[in-house]
Structure 1
């Protein structure tokens, strides 16, 4: 999650000048066993999706060019506060969307987990691609140059984090076990009642939401204890927009927004099809959403009501 303030609203004007961002994606392949257990309509299986991804600038991203994402699997989406552009983490590496469309950033690695921690500062996990000298699995890797290069931090050849989220307090990841790290190097195991499909942590690190096939779980003590959110719809993806506002996507692509840190939710517009990745920022009239739906990357500048 991005923790460096909100970029200027000029990004929205750049985006809307070309209309809503709609980027065609190639279809996803067969899901893994973990992905097949993800929450689907009515509690069933859902399509493969990306993990929690970090915040978009207020009003939406600057990268408004349309085009196909050159990968069959999208695992995450985030916006880099250093340039205001959308970054998409995929089975075939990281892609930045600028005025010319998608541009590969760095090597061809399968980025199963991905989150933006600050300007040009990313965390990821997954598997090395052809020609990569990174270990398999990657464990937690870090980039401080917007994905151009990655440095192993910890748990190399041990962890493939399929969902990652970051806050001012550190990093949370799930590799079959929920793990927390203040520095990306030392880890503490945390209990969780069910395997999360995605994780999202509040900016200060105190409140965590995790989506499961039985509904979202919520922790108010940084992941040490959990409760089910009875008033929430079934959610596949969640992201914190600010300290109190959370955006979620249901398995059938409806947008849900909470103004009280995930306790109660309002259903809004639809992204269309099954969601794959999500990023949110701002609050109230300035709530902005970037969502990867079925074959599209979409943005909403009105809090998820229209895309």
Structure 2
């Protein structure tokens, strides 16, 4: 099981308050049984904690994995997809499959914790893959050839069923994988870690900013600090350039390389999803944007 959380404290600039982040486990969710897709009752935006994000690059459909399940927040009204599961860890593979972990609700057939589960239909249904009743992966990433998860230690699996420990001596806050190659990034309290072999071995990235969340796309990367500053990388996380600042406290991030090699960046906060089409220099609420 996940060890007791350690606070991650980073001081903001010029008199601002200290940002405190926790690798905290969530309590079990409400019952899993639910229609495969329905409007979020009374909510224009998910009220539960946000643990992950997936954006369809073809349609710009934005899905948020939360304490209360998976939500399409680009729909109006917001739509819940699939059962109510506390999706603690969440990631998307190159073929479109979703991988997740977390806790079921009362009445669910899944054990607690759910271990690693997979959806091949966009989150409408989930199938158990491994470590049911054993693991609650708080961080997950999918690279081209593996699934990487953190549950007390870093573990790597080629297909989500059999796991091997990674060569790593750190505890990640967030993991991000490159779906078309073997790069994986891990944010930690002590700095950014990078793997080029699907998470099997790792090395620290010298001079990287202290990032909280990262995303990889087509050899580029985006990252956000605890105080909301956006950084981008043209070499998959080796070197970084500061861009702008996102409004609100970030909970999840995704990125997509556009045809002109510019990064489109989405950042989910507690009350909105912000999108940037200029490498993170400026952001607009997706409700008022017209991409």
TM-score (norm 1): 0.77
- Between Structure 1 and Structure 2, how many residues are aligned? 258
Q: Deviations over 1:161-188 (max 9, x none)?
A: 0111112202111111111111111111
Ranges in structure 2 where 5+ consecutive residues have no aligned partner: 13-17, 26-42, 284-291
1:1-307 to 2 correspondences below 5 Å: 33-34=4-5, 36-38=6-8, 40-41=10-11, 45-46=20-21, 68-80=44-56, 84-118=60-94, 120-242=96-218, 244-282=219-257, 285-307=261-283
CA shift at 1:81, angstroms?
A: 5.3
SS at match of 1:46: strand
Separation (CA, whole Å) in 2 of partners of 1:117 and 1:82: 15
Ranges in structure 1 where 5+ consecutive residues have no aligned partner: 1-31, 51-66
Q: Counterpart in 1 of 2:34?
A: none
Higher normalized helix content (fraction of residues): 1
Separation (CA, whole Å) in 2 of partners of 1:199 and 1:49: 16
Q: CA RMSD in A?
A: 2.5
TM-score (norm 2): 0.81
Q: Residues 257 and 81 of structure 1: is their aligned pair in 2 closer, same or farther, counting only changes over 3 Å?
A: closer
User: Which deviates more, 175-184 or 295-304?
Assistant: 295-304
Q: Residues 39 and 266 of structure 1: is their aligned pair in 2 closer, same or farther, counting only changes over 3 Å?
A: farther
Separation (CA, whole Å) in 2 of partners of 1:207 and 1:154: 23
Separation (CA, whole Å) in 1 of partners of 2:96 and 2:177: 20
CA shift at 1:116, angstroms?
A: 1.4
